[in-house]
Amino acid sequence: MKKFSETNIGRIGNLLKNDPNKSYTIKDISLGLKINPKSVSSSLSRLKAGKNKTGMINGRKRILKKKNGQNRKTGYEGFKIGTVKNTSKGRWEYLTKSKYVLWEVSFKVIDTNTKARQTPWVTEKMVRGTNKNAMDLHADAEGIAPSYADAAKMVEVAANRLFEVSLDVIKDTWGLIMFESLDPEKNITLASRIMNPNPLDENYNQRWDGMVSFKGSHGFEKSAKVDFNIDENRY
């Protein structure tokens, strides 16, 4: 009897497992391992669903049943049910949970503390019909954080850091000094969202990269790069 690793199911599973979170088509696997496409498709379906779980009943080996009468399933050797998935049409992956998550954080000015100012601020994305003199200041950046950090923590740590660094960048790049005009608790929106729950990063990278954009009321419209570092223990 062949070792599991030498069977078609084992060879295909190990190919995926050796490149976690990377997607393959049936054609990719068929050509790479020289296995018939129908056998590849069948093997992937088995890896995804698992095999029938057996046990001894009245001294004989039998397929174990659930209360509803369906066969109980267990994963193949080295493959838990749910780790091999058809993640998109025609593409298969071996999924592992990363220690890190790729996030995007952002901020947007919706008003300032300047009472005498007449020019409005764009509170949403620029759309047709928006006052052409309306001003806009926003930024976003991407970086990784430990998987235990939630959206609120990302705003508290990374989005606020983006806001602070962006004010330095617009001062140094365009001479815009807005420290006294902006208050994160009153006239700034801060947000975070997951971009990739399973990035391939195996080690923590403290660097965040993004862009800050400013549109003035007299035709001035520029963007500049922003970057900053966040220690892992901040989360």
- Neighbour tally for 81: CB within 10 Å: 14
pLDDT given for residue 132 in this prediction: 62
Residue 203 buriedness (CB in 10 A; 0-12 / 13-18 / 19+): exposed
pLDDT given for residue 111 in this prediction: 58
Strands 100-109 and 54-57: unpaired
Q: What are phi and psi of 20, to 5 degrees?
A: -60, 145
| DSSP alpha helix (H) spans, 56-190 | 151-154, 160-174
Burial letters 17-35, b for 16+ CB under 10 A, else e = beeebebbebeebbeeeeb
CA distance between the termini of the chain: 51
User: What are the beta bridge partners of residue 60?
Assistant: 57
pLDDT given for residue 22 in this prediction: 85
Residue type, 167: L
DSSP state of 232: G
Q: What is the residue extent of each domain of the chain?
A: 4-94, 100-234
Q: Name which residue leads in pLDDT, 191 or 120.
A: 191
Give per-residue pLDDT as tens, 51-83: 999 988 888 888 888 888 899 999 998 898 888
pLDDT given for residue 112 in this prediction: 55
Give per-residue pLDDT as tens, 14-53: 999 998 878 899 999 999 999 999 999 999 999 999 999 9
pTM of the model: 0.59
